[in-house]
Amino acid sequence: DSGVTQTPKHLITATGQRVTLRCSPRSGDLSVYWYQQSLDQGLQFLIQYYNGEERAKGNILERFSAQQFPDLHSELNLSSLELGDSALYFCASSSQPGLAAFEQYFGPGTRLTVT
Amino acid sequence: AQSVTQLGSHVSVSEGALVLLRCNYSSSVPPYLFWYVQYPNQGLQLLLKYTSAATLVKGINGFEAEFKKSETSFHLTKPSAHMSDAAEYFCAVSGDNNNDMRFGAGTRLTVKP
């Protein structure tokens, strides 16, 4: 158990809909990272927040947005969903602001299925 | 821009045999390199990382990797495979600008008894 929690575990929704994925980092970690893992695209870094502020941006679509709240939990919002958005979405946390140099602890993921 | 290429989407070894998972990187800046492992239905776990210190990096579970700049490689090895090593392994690269991380396509390791 990494200490990172993600809800829900599974999500099934229809095209065009909007969903919110939630992540709670490990106690004391200030950084939250979001990743997407799909068969087509593999594992992709989406976005990082550190202490409430956006820190780094990867291959995140404009239909997707994220935020980190004062209690440090984070939400990833996916809108106008398409079939291709079906994937496993991981959240990770770290105690440091950098993307690369420090260990990230991954949550178990949210499996999103768009029908 | 950075990228990694993992050679071999599937590697199969016998228990007790050498494990070698290949990773080549491309980076316009000095890279940070990582190996992650993903067990079925779980998130990723960091095995080891290279951050410009020693070129031979030792990680958890008996794995190690060697950074070879001349070959732009960061191959993962373990002298003796164990059944519990069966998993998917991902190589990743990040640059000194620290604002992106790119993963390889992954290599699925199967360990035969």
**Alpha-carbon separation of residue B58 from A20, B45, B103 (angstroms):** 38, 15, 20
Residues of chain B with pLDDT > 70: what percent?
A: 96
A107, B43: Cβ pair inside 8 Å?
yes
Q: What is the pLDDT of residue B28?
A: 74
A60-95 tens-digit pLDDT:
999 999 999 999 999 999 999 999 999 999 999 988
A96 touches chain B (CB under 8 A): no
Put simply, the answer to whether B43 touches A108 (Cβ < 8 Å) is: yes
Confidence of residue B52 (pLDDT cuts 50, 70, 90): confident
A5-29 confidence digits (pLDDT tens) = 999 999 999 999 999 999 999 999 9
Cβ–Cβ of B103/A58 closer than 8 Å?
Answer: no
Size of interface A-B (CB pairs under 8 A): 55
CA angle B106–B72–A34, rounded 5-degree value: 40
Residues of chain B found within 8 Å of residue A99, distances taken between Cβ atoms: 94, 98-101
pLDDT digits (tens, 9 = 90+) for B6-47: 999 999 999 999 999 999 998 777 788 999 999 988 888 999
The DSSP secondary-structure symbol of B64 reads E
Give the model's pLDDT for residue B78: 98
- A90 contacts in B (CB within 8 Å)? 43-44
CB contact set of B70 (below 8 Å; sequence gap of 6+): none
Q: How many helices (H) and strands (E) does chain A have?
A: 0, 11
Whether omega before A108 lies within 30 degrees of 0, making that bond cis, reads: no
pLDDT of residue A40: 85
pLDDT at B111 over 60: yes
Burial B34-49, CB ≥16 within 10 A → b, else e: bbbbbeeebbbbbbbb
- Residues, chain B: 113
Q: Which of B42, B49, B105 sits opposite A42 (nearest CB)?
A: B105
pLDDT tens digits, residue range B96-105? 565 678 889 9
Facing residue for A90 by CB, picked from B32, B43, B98: B43
Strand residues in chain B grouped as ranges (E): 2-7, 10-14, 19-27, 32-38, 44-50, 56-58, 64-68, 73-78, 87-94, 101-103, 107-112
Kindly give the residue spans of alpha helices, DSSP state H, lying in B16-94: none
Chain A residue whose CA is closest to B35: A103
Check whether A46 has a pLDDT greater than 70: yes
* Confidence label for A41 from pLDDT (cuts 50, 70 and 90): confident
Is residue A89 a contact partner of residue A109, using CB atoms and an 8 Å limit?
Answer: yes
Tokens (6 digits) for B73 = 């490689």
Mean pLDDT of chain B: 91
